[in-house]
Structure 1
Amino acid sequence: MAQLENNLSTAHQEVKLARSLKPIHLWALAVGLVISGNYFGWSYGFGAGGPIGLAISTIPVIIFYATFIFCYSELATAIPHAGGPSAYARRALGPFWGYMNGISCLIEFMFAPPAIALAVGGYIHYMVPQIPTLAAAVVAFLFFIFINFLGMKTSATFELIVTIIALIGLAIFWIAAAPHFSWARVAQEPVLPNGYGGIMAAIPFAIWFYLAIEGGAMAAEEMLNPQKDIPKGFLSGMGTLVVMMCLTLFLTAGIADYNLVTAVDFPLPIALAQVYGQGNLVVLAVNFIGLFGLIASLHGIIVGYSRQTYAMARTGYLPKFLSQVNTRYHTPHWALLVPGLIGIGAAVTGLTSVVITISVFGAVALYLISLISFFVLRKKEPDLKRPFKVANGPLVGGISFAAGLFCLYSVIVYNLTAVKWVALIYGLAILWYLVEGRKELRPFEEEFGVLDEL
């Protein structure tokens, strides 16, 4: 029986992910993974710190991501592995930290989709009040798991299309809002309603503008030329997102009382409705196209969590059946479904802001462990082939690490309710590693043998 299981496992390992992606696909993944952050979620930061407080909180976040993405691109091109952060940390720091970085990635990528799905349900309910928010959220989640099952080329092409449509929707919002913008609304008194603590409390929602951009690295094994294409896709995506964030944040605050959008999952149509009226065609168009922005991120993050789960199961950290790849579509079907069901369970709670904070915590932990891996690999493997190497790497990485520690402090101190749930999740994850997750790890050389073909 044991031999039969080994043979079945080997058969599943031999079905590889297919290489089909170009830089434009990675740009679409990078922007698409994050674009929902412009359509919802970030406006909870208005409730924490007001428009100016949220804007100030984005400064360290932009500094962090702008520096981190360079370091992360170096890691991704040197180790273009579906495990992404799990693979980087394992090579640099050993099996336990590889596992912890992978778990941090899964926390980020499993808890972001429930929040996005709830927003999809909110947008649909806003358009068609007869459809319950939660029912729409669950159906959308299951539908995009199915789309991902149809293959990476299909998924990436779909992601490119919906990302472009979502960008058009944002452009419509920006153009419609610009003539009615008033700086007096942005800077209304009190400018910092919750003081400097409000700025710190807004950090998780500033991060939401960029959360999950790193997920594009988990498509590395499906890139046609990962060493050259990953930097192109990542860096162009980061530049796009900074411009989008500035326009969305200030124009929303500048056309309506920001208190109207501090606790809703569809802030853009609500803000526009204050200017044009709820039934206006422009408002309806932004609401409808906003669904494409949410869909782009929901779909893209499902790609990310499935590849991370697949890679960790292939390594041996997670149950082996999660590494099975469908022979027809070359997609990891169990790695798509199982985390998706966990995400649906989180969506049922309806606690969007808490789910966002849990996801952000996993992201920040991932970033810091990845940066430590960056430093260690620079020292331990100076001759590792690095097609993309960060100039002044220690300085850039040091700035990123300092900004990351600041973000971690903000997330922990000002979001204690969510941190309790995060502590429970990490506790259960460490228990699994001690009991089962370390028993049958693939040898280091075999795990990274996938890189030889590159």
Structure 2
Amino acid sequence: MTEKVTWLKRDLGTLELLALGYSDVSSTYYFTLGIVALNSGPLLPITMLLGSLSLWLVGLAYTEFGSAIPRTGGAYYYIRRELGNTWGFITGWLLSFDQILMIAYGALGTVNYLSIIIPTASRWPMNSVLSILIIVMIMIINILGVKASARFNLTLLIIDLLGIMTLLVLGYYMVISHGVIMPRLPFNYNYLTHGLTYSLRGYTGIDVIAQSTGEAVSPSLSIPRAIIGVSALSTVVALLLSLLTTLSGALTIVSTNVGDPIGALAEYLLHNIYLSIYISASIAIVLLISVNAGIVDFSRSIYAMSEDGLLPRRLSSVNGRYRTPHLAIITSSLTAMLFTAPGSVQLIADSYAIASTIVYLMTMIALIAFRNKETHLVRYFRTPGITVRQMKVPVVSIIGIIVYVLSIVLIVLIKSIYVLVVLTWLLIGLLIYLVNKSSQHT
């Protein structure tokens, strides 16, 4: 495969990478916690803990790739390198769909969490209108070329964690001082399967660290540290939030306020409007960052695939004045508006991360190919593996294939209509890919 060398300034340390990754991952479970609670019932902590397995598996795979191949591109580059152009395109195109949904859930989530200040903001059509305005604002900023720095993200991460820590410390104090409510935990097959359908997709966003490998200082060290740090922090915070929800008896409150579940939990436990506003506002900031992240990631993905010849060159066209990929930015923003227009958290949550789950499955297969094809590369981080008929197979890939196939099966059985949405997006992309490929040979 022909390599194209791109020089990027390496100025992202472990903390900056951790901030980038955590803001993306946390925005996912901040947005979906209410939906997961609604479907998991009293098994919420269990489904959230099991759901984190998806994050750890793909994170460990990205860690091995990133420490050996310090190049920007993430899953798109890794899969294209190991499995070829067609699978690389499918990866990039599927990830771009979730980047669009990230824009949508970030905008709608921001509006919903701010409803503690403006109660009517979370009601349709107001939530839809405000969400679209947020997308338009961030779209214009990106076209003009204004970028948020990683250090700014780090500052916002600290603000967010202070808000969450305030809720957890005071919340658990209230629970302990007033008596723990031990819920009945009957094994309910529907609770488990429906909850896992969402929780296995509830920790996406770690891709941003893999995509930033080419900009990382000492990637062989900073990438593993950042990915493991984000995975551990996200798992602990999500588990503590879900346990607090269950033990405090707030399960009904959280599951009936799917738009701003953590804000509702704060109001229920703290009975202090100012603390509740602070916690909701800090989460709204993280969700607002995800709008920008989605636009930047989509435009970067489309630009890269266009530059690599997998999409029409026109899509990589850059604005003459501002030097930004304006067509890709506008495309992602307009598509995201279609998902925010109904103002439905359920619609976005049901559609989100189906594409990423497929990509994660392909990443596990690519890791097997990587372990056997590129034995000459120095691996500063290597997951344990076994040898099957002279083929080296990482244990992460074995478990990952099982987990992601299970996740896809659950989605197909329980939310099949949304699989059709993703397949439609994929078919559109493959049509563009094949037409573009044929035009290059004429």
State TM-score, norm by structure 2: 0.86
Asked if 1:177 is matched to 2:171, the reply is yes
CA contact (8 A) 2:28 2:205 kept: no
| CA-CA distance at 1:93 after TM superposition | 1.1
2:432 aligned partner, one-letter code: W
Q: 1:413 to 1:186 in 2, by over 3 A?
A: farther
1:313 to 306, 314, 319: 306
State how far apart, in whole Å, the 2-side matches of 1:407 and 1:186 are: 31
**Match of 1:373?**
366
**Match of 1:140?**
134
Q: 1:209 to 1:353 in 2, by over 3 A?
A: same
Q: Any idea what SS the aligned residue of 1:39 has?
A: helix
Deviates more, 1:59-68 or 1:362-371: 59-68
CA contact (8 A) 2:31 2:105 kept: no
1:401 aligned partner, one-letter code: I
RMSD: 2.9
Aligned pairs for 1:348-427 within 5 A: 348-392=341-385, 394-427=394-427
1:163 to 136, 157, 166: 157
**Gaps in structure 2 of 5+ consecutive residues:** 386-392
Q: 1:214 to 1:158 in 2, by over 3 A?
A: same
Q: 1:396 to 1:59 in 2, by over 3 A?
A: same
**Match of 2:45?**
55
| CA-CA distance at 1:250 after TM superposition | 1.2
State how far apart, in whole Å, the 1-side matches of 2:248 and 2:24 are: 27
CA contact (8 A) 1:51 1:253 kept: yes
| CA-CA distance at 1:16 after TM superposition | 6.2
Instruction: Give every structure 1 segment of 4 or more consecutive aligned residues whose post-TM-superposition deviation is greater than 4 Å.
Output: 13-18, 146-153, 182-187, 189-192, 324-333, 437-441
2:260 aligned partner, one-letter code: F
1:341 to 318, 323, 334: 334
Q: Any idea what SS the aligned residue of 1:77 has?
A: helix
**Match of 2:211?**
218
Q: 1:191 to 1:259 in 2, by over 3 A?
A: farther
2:86 aligned partner, one-letter code: F
2:199 to 201, 206, 227: 206
Residue deviations 1:234-264 (CA, integer Å, cap 9, x gap): 1111111111111111112333442222242
2:75 aligned partner, one-letter code: P
CA contact (8 A) 2:183 2:246 kept: no
**Match of 1:302?**
295
Count of equivalent residues: 425
Q: Any idea what SS the aligned residue of 1:383 has?
A: coil
2:105 to 108, 115, 119: 115
Q: 1:189 to 1:227 in 2, by over 3 A?
A: closer
Q: Any idea what SS the aligned residue of 1:51 has?
A: helix
1:347 aligned partner, one-letter code: T
| CA-CA distance at 1:88 after TM superposition | 1.2
State how far apart, in whole Å, the 2-side matches of 1:15 and 1:334 are: 22
State how far apart, in whole Å, the 2-side matches of 1:225 and 1:325 are: 31
State TM-score, norm by structure 1: 0.84
**Match of 2:277?**
284
Q: Any idea what SS the aligned residue of 1:82 has?
A: coil
Q: 1:332 to 1:20 in 2, by over 3 A?
A: farther
Aligned pairs for 1:431-446 within 5 A: 431-437=431-437, 439-440=439-440
**Match of 2:390?**
none
State how far apart, in whole Å, the 1-side matches of 2:374 and 2:146 are: 32
Q: 1:37 to 1:256 in 2, by over 3 A?
A: farther
| CA-CA distance at 1:308 after TM superposition | 1.8
Q: 1:147 to 1:240 in 2, by over 3 A?
A: farther
Q: Any idea what SS the aligned residue of 1:20 has?
A: coil
CA contact (8 A) 2:128 2:342 kept: no
**Match of 1:35?**
26
| CA-CA distance at 1:383 after TM superposition | 1.3
**Match of 2:183?**
188
Deviates more, 1:293-302 or 1:355-364: 293-302
Q: 1:98 to 1:216 in 2, by over 3 A?
A: same
**Gaps in structure 1 of 5+ consecutive residues:** 1-12, 442-454
Q: 1:152 to 1:17 in 2, by over 3 A?
A: farther
Residue deviations 1:200-241 (CA, integer Å, cap 9, x gap): 111243135411112221122322433332222111111111
2:341 aligned partner, one-letter code: V
**Match of 1:452?**
none
Deviates more, 1:94-103 or 1:82-91: 82-91
Residue deviations 1:10-56 (CA, integer Å, cap 9, x gap): xxx9996544322211101110111223433122112112031x332
1:272 to 263, 266, 276: 266
State how far apart, in whole Å, the 2-side matches of 1:275 and 1:81 are: 46
